[in-house]
Amino acid sequence: METKIFKANEIHLLANIAKEGSIIAFPTETVFGLGVVYDNEEAFNNLVKVKERKTDKPFTLMVGYTRDIENYAVLNTKTKNLIDVFMPGEITLIIEAKPNLPKHVTLGSKYIGIRVSANYEVANLLNLIGKPLLVPSANKRDEKPALTVEEVYKVFNGDIAGILEGETTSHIPSTIVKVDDKIELIREGSIPFNLIKEVWEEEL
C-alpha cells in the first residue's frame, strides 16, 4: 500500500482509518508521532514491527484532554497539580496505571506514560477517533524523530496508512518524568526538570 497524505480538512478520514486499526502519523507540538488505537492488540503488534521497537518497552498513551487522564491512571494531589500546570504540553507523565488496561498497553508494568498534546489538531483527531492512541515518535529505533511530513513519508511509506499534514514546532521530544511518592526524571525535553520538580514540591 502507498501511504496517503491527508490535509487538515480531511482529518475525519484519517480518524476513520485509525478506528479500523491502521497506523497513522500526525504532527504534535514536539515532533511527528505514530499512533494506533490503544485497545487493538493487532494494531499494537504492527506498530512494534514498523517501529522496530523492543518488545518490552510500552508506548505512551495519548489522550485528547487532561480530564481523560483519570480514566487510565491513578492520580494523587501532587500529580493532579503537575497536570494542571504543564498539560496540555510538552511533557509525558509516567503514572500508576489503572488495573483494567489491556496487557499490551502496560506490558506487565504497573505504570503508564500519559501525554496530552497542546496541538489543537491532535485533540480534534483524538476526539474524532473517540479513544486514546498509543503514540511513539515517528522514527525507526535509534533514528531521529521525523519533524516533517516529507520525513515521515520517506521512512514509513508503505508501512503506515496515512499522514496528517501540519507543522511541528519545538522539534524536541517531550520531557518524561515518573511520579508516584517521589518524582524522577527519565528524559529532559523542552520543559526543564527543575521547573517540574519545583511544582511537584509545592505545599498544597
pLDDT (mean) for 166-183: 94
Q: At what angle do helices 120-129 and 11-19 cross, to 10 degrees?
A: 50
Mean pLDDT of 167-171: 91
- CA distance linking residue 28 with residue 34, whole number of Å: 10
Q: d(Cα 62, Cα 174) in Å, to the nearest integer?
A: 12
pLDDT band at 204, cuts 50/70/90? confident
The C-alpha atoms of residue 166 and residue 152 are separated, in whole angstroms, by 12
Residue 55 confidence (pLDDT): 80
Mean of the per-residue pLDDT values of the chain: 96
Number of domains the chain contains: 1
Instruction: Average the pLDDT over 16-40 and give the result.
Output: 97
Q: What is the CATH number of the domain that holds 121?
A: 3.90.870.10
Cell of 144: 531521529
In this structure, the chain runs to a length of: 204
Share of the chain above pLDDT 90, in %: 92
**What mean pLDDT is predicted for residues 16-37?**
97
